[in-house]
């Protein structure tokens, strides 16, 4: 069973004005679709075709040298974007509550300090990549990865440790049409569409 592009959980225009319709159409319909198509192409005719996505990208050492790069980039791209769409939603934003809010306060002092540090991780990622909020041993920390690498790939590959509960895409394709080179403005606007209920569910599962 080949991997498939999951439908967006909302309409392309649902995240306006923070993320524009054209960006969503291209980001989901072309960029994410290309990761899915290229992942399927890379593993076609190999025993890896029978694996689910998470086991596949969590054990890249088991992927043959010849296709490890394409599986890393496109498998990572497929997982990262599938996760990212669920983290967002129309009419969201605001602040987290409950156990997640407590953990953010414990790790960062207060919510605004957390936001500033998370934005800094996104701004500081040179070129293309992602910023992450991660859980390890019940505690929160922030990390970032280049390209389509992600924490599931392990520390040796991704450079970060922990279970991801929040992520932001800082590739230019995620923001360029509306924000051009102003990544910091995109990151500030992005908080308005974060679905904290979903992030909380990921935090509960990770603990
Ligand atoms: Mn992207």
Cα–ligand 1 centroid distance for 148 (angstroms): 8
What domains are there in the chain, each with its CATH number?
21-86 (1.10.287.990), 98-206 (3.55.40.20)
For residues 44 and 86, what is the distance between their CA atoms, to the nearest angstrom?
Answer: 28
- Both tokens of 105, joined, read 């306060």
What's the alpha-carbon Rg for the chain, to the nearest Å?
A: 17
Per-residue pLDDT tens digits for 110-150: 999 999 999 999 999 999 999 999 999 999 999 999 999 99
Cα–ligand 1 centroid distance for 71 (angstroms): 16
Per-residue pLDDT tens digits for 146-200: 999 999 999 999 999 999 999 999 999 999 999 999 999 999 999 999 999 999 9
pLDDT at 1 over 80: no
For residues 36 and 119, what is the distance between their CA atoms, to the nearest angstrom?
Answer: 28
Cα–ligand 1 centroid distance for 111 (angstroms): 26
Return the pLDDT at 207.
84
CA distances from 2 to 5, 36, 49, 128, 179 (A): 10, 9, 7, 27, 35
97 touches 196 (CB < 8 A): yes
Residues 6+ apart with CB under 8 A from 172: 128
């Amino acid at each position: 069973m080949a991997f498939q592009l999951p439908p967006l959980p909302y309409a392309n225009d649902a995240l306006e004005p923070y993320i524009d319709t054209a960006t969503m159409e291209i980001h989901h319909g072309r960029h994410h679709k290309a990761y899915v198509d290229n992942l399927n192409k890379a593993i076609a005719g190999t025993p890896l075709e029978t694996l689910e996505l998470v086991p596949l990208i969590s054990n890249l050492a088991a992927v043959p040298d010849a296709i490890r790069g394409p599986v890393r980039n496109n498998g990572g791209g497929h997982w990262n974007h599938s996760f990212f769409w669920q983290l967002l939603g129309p009419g969201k934003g605001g602040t987290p509550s409950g156990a997640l809010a407590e953990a953010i306060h414990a790790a960062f002092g207060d919510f605004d300090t957390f936001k500033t540090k998370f934005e800094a991780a996104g701004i500081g990622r040179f070129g293309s990549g992602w910023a992450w909020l991660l859980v390890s041993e019940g505690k929160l920390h922030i990390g970032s990865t280049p390209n389509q690498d992600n924490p599931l790939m392990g520390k040796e590959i991704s450079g970060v440790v922990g279970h991801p509960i929040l992520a932001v895409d800082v590739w230019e394709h995620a923001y360029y049409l509306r924000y051009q080179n102003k990544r910091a403005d995109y990151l500030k606007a992005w908080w308005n569409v974060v679905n904290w209920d979903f992030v909380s569910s990921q935090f509960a599962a990770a603990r």
